[in-house]
Amino acid sequence: MSASHHVRYPRFDGRQALVLAPATESLAPFAVHVPEAALDDLRMRLELVRWPERETVNDWSQGVPLACAQALIDYWARDYDWRKLESRINRFPQFRTRIDDVGIHFIHATSPHPQALPIILTHGWPGSIVEFLDVIDRLTDPTKFGGRAEDAFHVVVPSIPGFGFSDKPREQGWNTQRIARAWTVLMRDRLGYKRWVAQGGDWGSAITHALASQRPDGLVAAHVNLPLVAPEVRPKRPSEEEQRALQSIDLFLDHKAGYADEMNTRPQTIGYALNDSPLALAMWIYEKFGEWTDNEGRPEDALTRDQMLDDISLYWFTGTGATSARLYWESCSGKTIREHTFFSSARASSERIELPMAASISPRENYIAPRAWAEAAWPNLFYWHELDRGGHFAAFEQPELFATELSQAFRAFRGKPAAQ
């Protein structure tokens, strides 16, 4: 991992997405650089957008309002600066390595504090490594932010296969369980950590649940901000807390699951639009920032336009609209949300996990499980905190709070140097 090693830049092949150099089992240093031709291509496409008519309602009930869409696209075309994001990502050491025949991209930011605890942070959809950029420094060197050296972490942030600068799988089978096994290889075999913890939200939560269920050597605890826990069948006489959880499930299934059903069942079809049209990709993701963040009616209340476009642009330049959607098909067996059923899928993600588990839940999370459901699924639940602010994108929306939660949650697992 010497700085003198050759850094492999992605290349841009005409109108195709970035083409990544083949990865090997060694750790190849990596830096992000999108050629100017790709930026020009994006600007051209944004100038040639064909707009639909205005919605017939005065809210977001039919999707992103036309005025909001036009404002975001105009900013993307004229004012957004991708190079700033490149510089922010490239501040951190990055690598690619081949695991199970797929090249995995990851940030590996080590702490200056010798007692630091290694942690792997996993994003979801429509998230990316961008979600964690503002928490890495807080975790690796908390003393710079008024924290304690004893709470430091060595931070590993991988891109899920099919997302970002990881390879796009060319065969079936890359579900959450397989990704979890790849993360074990990354942490234990490639990076040499003997003792480590895991964290995730959204699909990152499902992958972290899978890791906890597999309980590989070295993994000592896990934390999620979306506890995927539920009883095997719907309670007939729910408590007040259970009733709130059931109502949130029903609201999601009845009114908010259309995007998931499309990606669960036809990721390739929606992928054509997401890979070819920056407008389609942006609205597909921007809508989720509108629905899933802790905002007062506009996603810009929770995230800046630059933050949202950083994430959207990463999907665009890597051409991962279709391959990221395919994670839904792989992990939900090609079924709709109702066919898969919430209870069976949540239960399968967390059935009797013996590994010590922790959770920090934001008030605007899509689904807030009752603590009793978590205690039933996780007999070694050691930390549970329902927060007073934040939404689905915990680290993205509230980086300071997110870092504080991880520091507090994992204090019980400190005390030994992280062998590497």
Contacts of 339 (CB under 8 A, 6+ apart): none
Catalytic residue among 202, 294, 310, 311: 202
Both tokens assigned to 283: 């609205």
In angstroms, rounded to a whole number, what is the distance separating the alpha carbons of residues 255 and 330?
23
Both tokens assigned to 201: 């939200």
Helix (H, G, I), strand (E, B) or coil at 368: coil
Does 202 qualify as catalytic in the annotation? yes
In angstroms, rounded to a whole number, what is the distance separating the alpha carbons of residues 282 and 299?
13
Catalytic residue among 286, 328, 367, 383: 328
Does 392 qualify as catalytic in the annotation? yes
Both tokens assigned to 108: 């590996």
Helix (H, G, I), strand (E, B) or coil at 27: coil
In angstroms, rounded to a whole number, what is the distance separating the alpha carbons of residues 136 and 216?
25
Q: Are 381 and 375 in contact (CB under 8 A)?
A: yes
Nearest to 307 by CA among 74, 71, 133, 63: 133
Find the length of the chain: 420
Show which residues are catalytic.
202, 328, 392
